[in-house]
Amino acid sequence: MKKIPFGLRAKLMLVVVIGLLVGVSTLGFFKLEQDRQSIYREANGSGQERIALIAKALSNLLAGYDYTNMESLASSIVAAPDVLILRITNRNGKVAVERTNKNLDRDGRSMSFAAPVVFGNEVLGNVEMLVSTNKLEAAIHDSFQGILLWIGWVILFLGVLIYFAVSLVILTPIAKIRNMMQDIVANPDGELQIMKVSGNDELADLVNIFNKVQTSLYMHQQKLKAQVQIADENLTRANLELTFRSKELEQMVALSQQLATTDSLTGLHNRRFLDENLSTVFAQARRHADSLCLILLDVDFFKQINDKYGHASGDVVLRTLGNLIRWSTRDSDISARMGGDEFAFILPRTSVHQGMVLAKNLLEKTRQHAFVIPGEKIIQITLSFGVAELTEDIPSLEALYGAADKALYASKHMGRNQVTGIYNNEFV
C-alpha cells in the first residue's frame, strides 16, 4: 500500500483542523448565544413576576399612605442578594420610598423592571427595581470557558480520527464503521458495540481507534445521562424553592393588606377599615331592621399629656388604651382608632343603652388603670364618650356620625369624664 507523503498528510491535517475549528467554533458561538439569550429571557421573566408581585404587595400600603410599612417592605426586598435599588413613586412621579443595597457592585451590569401600583382600577404610582446581573454574567463566562474547552477537545479528537481515516483510504473498515455508526444512531441507547480486531496492521489500528472512540463516546454518554439526571433533580429543587418563595411572597401580600387596615400604634383597626365595614353593617341593619350603635370617644386633655410629658408618653397612653379597648369589646364589635386620641366602635344589634353600659365599663377600667409612662411615672386619664343608636330619624352614615359626635360634644361640654347617649335626637 502506497503511503501518503508526509507533506500531503500535513496539509490534509491542516485543512481538517481549520475546517473543524471554523465549524465547531461557529456551533460553539451559536450555543453560547443561545445560552445567553435563554439565561436573560428566564431572568427577565422572573424579574417581571417579582416586580408584579411587589406592586401588588404595595397597592394597599400606597393607598393607605402607610410609608412606615412601605419602607419596611422595601428594605426587606433590597436585602435580597441581587437587588440593587427599589424605588416607589406616587402618581405624581415623586419618590415615596427608595432603598439601595450598598453591598453590591454598582459598576456591574444590571436589569431594570417596573410595574404600576394599582389599587382597584386606579393607578396610584409606580415601583421600579434594579437587579444585578453579575451572577448571570458569571454563569455565561463559565459556559464560554466550557465551550472553549469542549471545542479544543472536539477538534483534537476528530482531527486525529479523520486524519487516520482519510490518509489510510481503506474502504472496508470505513464501511464497517459506517454500518456500526448507523446502528448506534438508530439505537443511541443501546449497548456498547466493539468491532473485532484481526491482524497487526494499519487496518487493525483503525479498528482499535474506532473501538476506543466508541468506548469513549459511550462513557461520555453515560456521564451525560448522569449529568442530565442531576440537572433534573436540581431543577426540581429549584421549582420547589420557587414555590416556597412564591408562598412567602403571598404571605407578604396578605400581611401588607392587613397592615393597610390596621393602626400601627394601637393594633386596632384604622379609620379606613371602620368606614368600609360601617357601610356594610349600616346597610344590613337598615335591611333587617336591626339595632346598631356607634360610639365615639376622646381622651380628655390628651394634648396636655403630650405637652407635659412628651409625645412618647402620649403614644404609651394610646397603646395602653388600645389594649383596654380590645379587652372590653366583643368579637362581633369593630373598634378602630380614628386618628390622634379619637376612637370609635361599631356595635351591631346593640341599643344605645347597651352601648352606654359598654362605654361606662370601659370608662371605669380606664379611671382605675395606672398608665406607666417613660420615667416610671404613673398618670391617670379619663375619657369622654358619645353613644348613638340608628333610628328612623337617621337616614345616612353621616347622620349617624353626626349624632354620636353631638353626644360626644355634650359629654365634653358637661365636664368630660362621662358617657352621653342620644336616641331620636334626645340625650339619654
Q: Quick check: pTM over 0.85?
A: no
Residue closest to 78 by CA, chosen among 7, 130, 141: 130
User: Regarding beta strands 418-423 and 426-427, do their DSSP bridges make them parallel or antiparallel, or are they unpaired?
Assistant: antiparallel
Distance in angstroms (rounded) separating the CA atoms of residues 193 and 213: 11
Catalytic, 341? Answer yes
* Residue environment code for 79-105, b if the CB has 16+ CB neighbours within 10 A, otherwise e: eeebbbbbbbbeeeeeebbebebeebe
Q: Which of 201, 298, 341, 405 is catalytic?
A: 341
What pLDDT digit, counting tens, does each position of 301-327 carry?
Answer: 999 999 999 999 999 999 999 999 999
Task: Walk me through the domains of the chain, giving residue ranges and CATH numbers.
Answer: 1-169 (3.30.450), 269-427 (3.30.70.270)
Percent of residues, the chain, with pLDDT higher than 90: 36
Give me the pLDDT at residue 4, please.
Answer: 47
- Whole-number pLDDT of residue 105: 66
Higher model confidence: residue 17 or residue 210?
210
Structure confidence by residue, pLDDT tens digits, 228-281: 888 788 888 877 877 677 676 666 655 555 557 899 999 999 999 998 898 999
